[in-house]
Amino acid sequence: MNTTSKPKILVSRAIFPEALAELEQSFDVISNQADVVMTPEALASQLAGVSAALVTGSERIDAKALAQAKGLKIVANISVGYNNFDVPAMTAAGVMATNTPDVLTDTTADFGFALLMATARRVTESERWIRDGNWNQWSIVTNPLGMDIHHTTLGIIGMGRIGQGIAKRALGFGMNVIYHNRSRLPEADEKACQARYVDKETLLKEADHVILVLPYSAESHHTIGAKEIALMKPTATLVNIARGGIVDDVALAAALKAKTIFAAGLDVFEGEPKVHPDLLACSNVVLAPHIASASEKTRRAMIALAARNVRAALAGDKPPSLINTEVFTK
């Protein structure tokens, strides 16, 4: 008789049933298929009894969450971003932190460009216009008029994998691509993207469309505020697929209302899932509920990578996308 017990793991949010069943073959799984967001107290209680956890951005992993989690070896984020992780606190507790890079790059870049197009060409605004019964006749000048994308200048702030993917998509539209990043790309990568490095102020002044793809940190908080928006062209658009908090949503709403810039497209928000009421009142903003990676194929791949990270850690191997590498000891 085999009395070996399976390691106990937590899956903090609902995942595809097949993925859950696969995990249950190897682990004693505490699941949350009801998809109820845990309170910090409930999360801490669950972490106290498991060896690993698969979580999402709705779960804050900090010193308080880890205080009683003495047997916890790894927390695997089902996301490329990890601003829900207090990485120093996790490292101090000896808990490995992982994310899911690469598997969502193209899907997220696709959505970033789709949001750019919807914003510049007023796609959702036009739909509302029809639904509200405003299409009484075709007109050259009164139907919703947008801004061109082709042969304009695209400014990308944050030139990692996703930013480079967006730059390459822009080439098909004949766009001039400029970018700003913490560090300049190697020459070969710049050539592949046909992108030119500039400082942030130059980018904001020159770009017809600005898209944000940088990771969130204390340093990147409110990278775009009233001062930065004032540098942009009145015909410019601003798209944020990075993280809430990178844009000052209150300042952006005021700028949209005053038509300081033409329009904005947002997939992320400060304090999401709550959205600032001033943004909801603006007609010249396209709003999406943090869905840049939301294709079924990609979400399945993200869960699979998170699971591989957990399996590796609990087997004593280095997880494939380990963030705090100093914690790993073979």
With tokens 């869905």, the residue in question is 291
Give the β-pairing of 237-240 and 96-98. unpaired
Burial class (CB in 10 A: 0-12, 13-18, 19+), 104: buried
**Is 272 a catalytic site residue?**
yes
Pair 266, 256: CB distance under 8 Å: no
Nearest Cα residue to 265 out of 222, 213, 223 = 213
Catalytic (active site) residue 151: no
- Among 121, 169, 209, 243, the active-site one is 243
Q: Are 238 and 247 in contact (CB under 8 A)?
A: yes
- Indicate which residue of 196, 222, 276, 290 is catalytic: 290
Residue 14: CB partners within 8 Å, gap ≥ 6?
31, 32, 33, 34, 35
How many residues can be counted in the chain? 330
128 catalytically annotated? no
Asked if residue 179 lies in contact with residue 167, where contact means CB atoms within 8 angstroms, the answer is yes
Residue appearing with tokens 């049933």: 17
122 in the Ramachandran plot: left (φ > 0), alpha (ψ -120 to 50) or beta?
A: left
Query: Of the residues 272, 276, 300, 308, which is catalytic?
Result: 272
CB 120 within 8 A of CB 209: yes
Taking CA atoms, 132 is separated from 122, 125, 126, 298, in Å, by 15, 10, 10, 35
Catalytic center residues: 243, 272, 290
